[in-house]
Amino acid sequence: MRGGEIMTVELEISGMTCAACARHVAEALREAGADEVAVDWRSGRARVEPDGAQASELGRALDGTKYQVVRVLESDRRGPGSDGDYEYDLAIVGSGGGAFAAAIAARRRDLRVVMVERGVVGGTCVNTGCIPSKALLAAAESRHHAIAHNFPGVPTTAGSADMAQLVDSKDELVTGLRHSKYIDLADEYGFEIVEGNARFVDGPALDVNGRRLEAAQYLVATGAQAAIPDLPGLAEAGYLTSTTAMELRELPQSLIVIGGGYVAMEQAQLFAHLGTTVTMLVRSVLARGEEPEISEAIRDAFVDEGIDVREGVVPDAVWRDGRHVVVSTAGQEIVADHVLVATGRRPSTDNLGLSEVGVGVRMDGAIVVDDDLSTSNPRIWAAGDVTGHPQFVYVAAKHGALVVENAFDGAGRRIEYGALPRITFTNPTIASAGITEAQAQARGMDVSSRTLDLQHVPRALVSRATRGLVKVVADSETGRIVGVHIVGDGAGDVILAGSLAIQAGMTVEQLAAGWNPYLTLGEGLYLAAQSFSRDPSKLSCCAA
């Protein structure tokens, strides 16, 4: 301590290859007299407060080990809040994909990072979204395939589903991934996770259950939560969300799903494939944001599976009748064991104190950000679902890394969504990249399109999975591809090729002249491109 300032020493250390190495190095430095030791094995750096130890003593602290102090650098750091210097370089509110991407990017720059989480570490994706829903969807689809009898000569059967065992298996997977991909990584990269409710206060600073955290820059990455409609009687009757539905220990005999977006469709088909009788109440049409051909195809698939899809329907009241719930719509009453509300998700910005530090928030709760993800407060940034940008974990992850570059390097980087892939894990799967034909026309673009039925794709024929289509949208003048839209078994794996074609500015002619891997669904994309100039029904195998 000199003149009220904290003396810090930074060491450049060779030989570290893992988190265990960092722990051994930290222990040796403490034994040599260092205090407040922070070791990052990835950057090969350690930051310590000598606490009376000489720099030379620290330089010899690793003698006789496989590690070596390469350089010792002294630096003065003022205490928190004095003349623009802070306890941390980056403070993050939230602990999901965007938060961890930012924390890792910051630690690779040897920045001091703290993360605040009020609930369970890991955010929506690993805890209540992507991982648990896709795990249960895969299980349900396995049962569905056993019932479907797609192949003559291969009889199959399926018994009733054990919901409790499915949920236990799902929870085990979630717990493992939460630790390996989140909690353990915080230790590996060397940043602190603080449990508690974070609220911005003057400074700006964060108040976390009475503890004041100050940082040079802040990132809000608190995600989104289920948006519940103002429907008379809904709260009193009780309802499920996608989160609570995946915790049920008993499979319901009947279920009403309110909504027609990707969460509603996945949850409806999940329970239908497990044996539940499902009714969907959809305000407009299923998959409203997709091409109309895809909306029609997925509706037909659902109806053929026995799901009662009612489009253009708006519920007007809900009440409970004994152990059942009743939903009223246009004079009709629908009765089921449960009602699941899946009418979208809204950004989680309640009680963050954003207005107190001058951060603008929209009516829907989304933080107002510029294209570089900066907010109206120059030291506060936002990433992921909380921005109102596309709600995908891979978007949040890109946001988090981009914020670090913009906040600490002044990079001014922006996210381009023109080739963004999006997948709905129904059966058949919906996968799209780029814009729809209607969206292109709304932008004043002159486009043309071709739609290829999967009946023309050999992979679909041999797999007995011909329900679906591929649609390619291209600029009429240049032939440049601006949209790829697929519904079919395996569409999610094909859409990367469509996204890359859009990103690379490929034309339909270039795509049609490229390599075509036979007996894959990817051939459908190739054939759709060829259909701009040829009739695919008149082609032999391998599209020759």
The model carries a pTM of 0.85
Mean pLDDT across the stretch 332-357? 97
What per-residue confidence (pLDDT) applies to 203?
A: 93
CA 308 to chain centre: 29
Mean pLDDT across the stretch 361-377? 96
Mean pLDDT across the stretch 529-542? 85
What per-residue confidence (pLDDT) applies to 51?
A: 64
Residue 144 within any structural domain of the chain? no
CA distance 210 to 195: 12
354 pLDDT above the threshold of 90:
yes
Residue 379 within any structural domain of the chain? yes
Mean pLDDT across the stretch 417-430? 97
CATH number of the domain within which 492 lies: 3.30.390.30
What per-residue confidence (pLDDT) applies to 540?
A: 75
Residue 159 within any structural domain of the chain? no
Residue 398 within any structural domain of the chain? yes
What per-residue confidence (pLDDT) applies to 281?
A: 98
Among the three residues 328, 343, 358, which one is the final residue of a domain in this structure? Answer: 343
Q: What does the CA dihedral 11, 17, 22, 25 come to, rounded to 10 degrees?
A: -60
27 pLDDT above the threshold of 60:
yes
CB-neighbour burial class of residue 112 (10 A; exposed 0-12, middle 13-18, buried 19+): buried
Residue of 1, 7, 115, 542 with catalytic role? 542
Task: Please choose, from the candidates 10, 30, 16, the residue with its C-alpha nearest in 3D space to the C-alpha of residue 65.
Answer: 16
Residue of 86, 88, 115, 125 with catalytic role? 125
* Ranges 2-11, 65-74, 161-170, 431-440: which has the least confidence: 2-11
* Ranges 35-44, 60-69, 289-298: which has the least confidence: 35-44
CB-neighbour burial class of residue 344 (10 A; exposed 0-12, middle 13-18, buried 19+): middle
Q: What does the CA dihedral 360, 366, 372, 375 come to, rounded to 10 degrees?
A: 20
Q: What is the pLDDT of residues 113-126, one digit of tens each?
A: 999 999 999 999 99
DSSP string, 152-206: TT---------HHHHHHHHHHHHHHHHIIIIIHHHHHHT-EEEES-EEEETTTEE
Mean pLDDT of the chain: 92
| Whether residue 385 is found in the same domain as residue 518 | no
- Backbone torsion region of residue 29, taken as left when φ is above 0, otherwise alpha when ψ lies between -120 and 50, otherwise beta: alpha
What band does 35 get if pLDDT is binned at 50, 70 and 90?
confident
CA distance 94 to 399: 13
What band does 5 get if pLDDT is binned at 50, 70 and 90?
very low
Residue 434 CB coordination number (10 Å): 25
Q: Do 133 and 265 form a contact (C-beta atoms < 8 A)?
A: no
Residue 140 within any structural domain of the chain? no
CATH number of the domain within which 298 lies: 3.50.50.60
* Phi–psi pair at 486, nearest 5 degrees: -135, 140
| Whether residue 93 is found in the same domain as residue 216 | yes
Residue 135 within any structural domain of the chain? no
Q: Could you confirm whether 239 is annotated as catalytic?
A: no
Domain range for 450:
421-543
234 pLDDT above the threshold of 90:
yes
Contacts of 361 (CB under 8 A, 6+ apart): 349, 354, 355, 367, 368
CB-neighbour burial class of residue 289 (10 A; exposed 0-12, middle 13-18, buried 19+): middle
145 pLDDT above the threshold of 70:
yes
- Count CA atoms closer than 13 A to 267's CA, side-chain side: 33
Among the three residues 307, 327, 343, which one is the final residue of a domain in this structure? Answer: 343
Among the three residues 343, 359, 376, which one is the final residue of a domain in this structure? Answer: 343
Residue 330 CB coordination number (10 Å): 10
245 in helix, strand or coil? Answer: helix
Note the helical H segments in 365-507.
393-409, 437-442, 458-462, 491-503
Mean pLDDT across the stretch 417-424? 97
| Whether residue 93 is found in the same domain as residue 219 | yes
| Whether residue 502 is found in the same domain as residue 529 | yes
| Whether residue 221 is found in the same domain as residue 241 | no
What band does 37 get if pLDDT is binned at 50, 70 and 90?
confident
| Whether residue 30 is found in the same domain as residue 93 | no
| Whether residue 483 is found in the same domain as residue 538 | yes
What band does 543 get if pLDDT is binned at 50, 70 and 90?
low
| Whether residue 489 is found in the same domain as residue 351 | no
Mean pLDDT across the stretch 30-50? 80
Residue of 1, 18, 417, 518 with catalytic role? 18
| Whether residue 21 is found in the same domain as residue 119 | no
Q: What is the pLDDT of residues 173-225, one digit of tens each?
A: 999 999 999 999 999 999 999 999 999 999 999 999 999 999 999 999 999 99
Residue 30 CB coordination number (10 Å): 16
4 pLDDT above the threshold of 70:
no
Q: Do 198 and 205 form a contact (C-beta atoms < 8 A)?
A: no
CA 138 to chain centre: 18
Mean pLDDT across the stretch 426-441? 98
Task: State the maximum Cα–Cα separation within the chain, in Å, rounded to a whole number.
Answer: 86
Residue of 7, 130, 394, 445 with catalytic role? 130
* Percent of the chain surpassing pLDDT 70: 94
What per-residue confidence (pLDDT) applies to 48?
A: 82
Token pair of 2 as six digits: 């000199």
Q: Could you confirm whether 1 is annotated as catalytic?
A: no
Cα dist from 231 to 319, 420, 485, whole Å: 10, 34, 34
CA distance 215 to 381: 12
AA letter at 23: R
436 pLDDT above the threshold of 80:
yes
What per-residue confidence (pLDDT) applies to 2?
A: 36
What per-residue confidence (pLDDT) applies to 80?
A: 35
What per-residue confidence (pLDDT) applies to 454?
A: 97
Residue of 67, 88, 218, 239 with catalytic role? 67
- Paired with 38 in beta bridges are 47
77 pLDDT above the threshold of 50:
no
What band does 6 get if pLDDT is binned at 50, 70 and 90?
very low
CA distance 19 to 116: 22
Residue 288 CB coordination number (10 Å): 13
Q: What is the pLDDT of residues 235-287, one digit of tens each?
A: 999 999 999 999 999 999 999 999 999 999 999 999 999 999 999 999 999 99
| Whether residue 378 is found in the same domain as residue 506 | no
| Whether residue 358 is found in the same domain as residue 463 | no
CATH number of the domain within which 23 lies: 3.30.70.100
CA distance 38 to 281: 54
What band does 40 get if pLDDT is binned at 50, 70 and 90?
confident
Residue 150 within any structural domain of the chain? no
| Whether residue 451 is found in the same domain as residue 335 | no
Look at the chain and report how many structural domains it folds into: 4
Q: Could you confirm whether 88 is annotated as catalytic?
A: no
* Phi–psi pair at 332, nearest 5 degrees: -95, 145
CA distance 8 to 322: 67
Handedness of CA 356, 358, 364, 367 (dihedral sign): negative
Q: Could you confirm whether 526 is annotated as catalytic?
A: no
What per-residue confidence (pLDDT) applies to 163?
A: 97
What band does 54 get if pLDDT is binned at 50, 70 and 90?
low
Residue 300 within any structural domain of the chain? yes
